[in-house]
Chain A
Amino acid sequence: MLQLLSWAALAVTLALPVLYLAGGAPLDAVKTWLLAATVVWFVATPMWMGRR
């Protein structure tokens, strides 16, 4: 579950700027969601990375 969350955060970090490039999202929303994805990545990933 946590791993899924981490990968989802990375997917958002990649997808939103691509969406912005394609004209499909406003920049303010991209900035907000990028920050949210960053928080999710740095909170969720240490809980599983390197622990297996």
Chain B
Amino acid sequence: MAQVHTQAAVIDHTAPGGEYEREPVPDRALLGFKSFVGQYAGEHTAGTELMIGPLFVAAGVSAFDLVAGLLIGNLLAVLSWTFVTAPIATRARLTLYYQLEKICGRQLVTLYNLANGVMFCFLAGSMVTVSATALGVWFGFPMPALNDLYPNSLGWVLAVLSIGALIAIVAAYGYEFVARVANLAAPWLVLVFLAFGFVGLREFMNATGADMRSAADFWHLAETAIWKGGEPLPGQVKFTIWHVLFFAWFCNMAMHIGMSDLTVFRYARRSWYGIASAAGMYLGHFLAWIAASILYALQLHQQPGNTSVLPGPLAYSAVGLTGVLCVIVAGWTTANPTIYRAGLAFQAIFPRSSRYRVTLATGMLAAVAGMFPAVAMRLLDFVALYGMILMPMGAVVFVDFWLLPRLGLRSYFAERAGIRFNWAAGLTWGVTLGVCTWLVLSGRTQIFFVSLPGWFIAALLYIALSLWYQRAHRPAR
């Protein structure tokens, strides 16, 4: 899933002192279509894909629901990037943070940074968890089970802390080195993920005695042995086609509908470059998820009592040491920019602190979060929560850019009125989150679906509150 941007892009364009942070990207700096294809293909084949695929199987998904849900959900994600994010990005050509500052004011953006930084920390923690499972293959310490919330062995704690500390130090001091490793590893990672699928499929054929001479044979095996549907594993939510579809659509909600990728697409010559996101969706969020889920289904077929979702041992059983390396590299190279970005978000709150110290502290926070398997083992829920928390600000940006001028209201109101906290945007965020949380906690809808009505609630609220707020705080002309 992942969630974070390609390492080189982060360095060049969003780091402090980087390019065009507080001005529109000029024509001479625009990038071609291929840059975006490579970026999306690389960033969405991450360590967390090795958790998400198996969790679908644990959720009792059937073959048709999985394949159809992923095809449609990923298409909706690509369309969201193309028709929601990129058109604003290629017109305003600003980073999300600068655009939000113009709309919301400095203080509200600081709050947004805090929320973003905390979510990035937990996400990086789950990536550290994934990498630590690879160490378990070598050292053989007890690792967490599917429903574990807390660390279950000293070996696990030491492994996560060691890997987390290493990642934190590298994120602070050797970021560019890992960025180069990440770009170097990207094509290899995609192929190793495919290898998981091919090897897992053959092992399934060996284990079941199935013969596969046609697509129909594959489908029969898929329906009867790999993604059988039925009841989920204990403690898991049952996934239908709707769950898969909405999960695939919303797992990167913070990036498309939440508008984080304004920062990426402000470099695009044309808004249709948004379709480049299809490279990431259909390699990472289709093939990689399917491949990882095949490995986990094989584990359940061979050892029905072993429900642990441990990417390290899963990858090792399929392709040996190459698999273990894949888990370490995929977890490390994606945790690295996540920690870096979380550090940037926190540094914006404490601008006088050293970036190195903030990044180190952020990395250690992520390592502590990674010790608790609850985040990784509940990654489907966490990713949905992450999207829900950042989604209202995406609606604010969308309405502010397209609708407010048509309603006789002013875009970029905080900048024009010279205010530091735009209450129309702040209340929109808070009330939307309150309503969404109530909808989920009262059992009216599940967290996987709530962001869809949530976006419309946020959009309508922002219009209504702006009508009131802009009349009460007219800027001098």
Interface residues of A (CB under 8 A from B): 10, 13-14, 16-18, 20-21, 23, 27, 30-32, 34-35, 38, 41-42, 45-46, 49-50
Q: Which A-chain residue is minimally distant from B212 (CB atoms)?
A: A21
> Is the beta-carbon distance between A20 and B199 smaller than 8 angstroms?
yes
Cα(A49)–Cα(B192), bound, Å: 20
> Is the beta-carbon distance between A34 and B195 smaller than 8 angstroms?
yes
Which of B21-29, B122-130, B320-328, B427-435 lies on the face that meets chain A? B320-328
Q: Which B-chain residue is minimally distant from A7 (CB atoms)?
A: B187
**A23: B residues at CB distance < 8 A:** 202
Q: A17-B197, A17-B199 are in contact. List 10 more A-B contacts (CB 8 A).
A: A10-B191, A13-B195, A17-B195, A17-B319, A34-B195, A34-B322, A35-B320, A35-B322, A46-B184, A49-B183
> Is the beta-carbon distance between A38 and B322 smaller than 8 angstroms?
yes
**A18: B residues at CB distance < 8 A:** 198
Cα(A49)–Cα(B42), bound, Å: 15
Q: Which B-chain residue is minimally distant from A9 (CB atoms)?
A: B188
> Is the beta-carbon distance between B195 and A27 smaller than 8 angstroms?
no
> Is the beta-carbon distance between A31 and B184 smaller than 8 angstroms?
no
A19 to chain B, nearest CB (A): 9
A29 to chain B, nearest CB (A): 11
Interface of A is mostly: helix
> Is the beta-carbon distance between B199 and A30 smaller than 8 angstroms?
yes
**B201: A residues at CB distance < 8 A:** 21
Cα(A35)–Cα(B95), bound, Å: 41
> Is the beta-carbon distance between A20 and B184 smaller than 8 angstroms?
no
A33 to chain B, nearest CB (A): 9
Number of chain B residues close to chain A: CB under 8 A: 20
Interface residues of B (CB under 8 A from A): 180, 183-185, 187-188, 191-192, 194-195, 197-199, 201-202, 319-322, 325
**B199: A residues at CB distance < 8 A:** 17, 20-21, 27, 30
For A34, give its contact among B197, B202, B320 (CB under 8 Å). B320
Cα(A32)–Cα(B379), bound, Å: 33
> Is the beta-carbon distance between A30 and B319 smaller than 8 angstroms?
yes
Cα(A1)–Cα(B137), bound, Å: 36
> Is the beta-carbon distance between B184 and A13 smaller than 8 angstroms?
no
For B198, give its contact among A21, A32, A35 (CB under 8 Å). A21
**B184: A residues at CB distance < 8 A:** 42, 45-46, 49
Q: Which A-chain residue is minimally distant from B291 (CB atoms)?
A: A17
Cα(A30)–Cα(B202), bound, Å: 13
> Is the beta-carbon distance between A10 and B188 smaller than 8 angstroms?
yes
B278 to chain A, nearest CB (A): 20
Q: A13-B192, A45-B184 are in contact. Are A38 and B320 (CB under 8 A)?
A: no
Cα(A30)–Cα(B319), bound, Å: 7
A51 to chain B, nearest CB (A): 11
Cα(A31)–Cα(B187), bound, Å: 18
B202 to chain A, nearest CB (A): 5
Q: A10-B187, A41-B188, A49-B184 are in contact. Are A34 and B198 (CB under 8 A)?
A: no
B182 to chain A, nearest CB (A): 12
Cα(A6)–Cα(B320), bound, Å: 21
A2 to chain B, nearest CB (A): 13
Cα(A49)–Cα(B194), bound, Å: 23
Please name the 5 residue pairs, one residue from A and one from B, whose CB atoms are nearest each other, closest first: A31-B320, A17-B198, A17-B195, A34-B322, A13-B191
**A10: B residues at CB distance < 8 A:** 187-188, 191
Q: Which B-chain residue is minimally distant from A11 (CB atoms)?
A: B191
Q: Which B-chain residue is minimally distant from A20 (CB atoms)?
A: B202
> Is the beta-carbon distance between B180 and A50 smaller than 8 angstroms?
yes
> Is the beta-carbon distance between B194 and A34 smaller than 8 angstroms?
no
**A32: B residues at CB distance < 8 A:** 320
Cα(A16)–Cα(B199), bound, Å: 9
Q: Which B-chain residue is minimally distant from A46 (CB atoms)?
A: B184
Cα(A29)–Cα(B155), bound, Å: 32
> Is the beta-carbon distance between A17 and B321 smaller than 8 angstroms?
no
> Is the beta-carbon distance between B319 and A31 smaller than 8 angstroms?
yes
For B321, give its contact among A20, A35, A49 (CB under 8 Å). A35
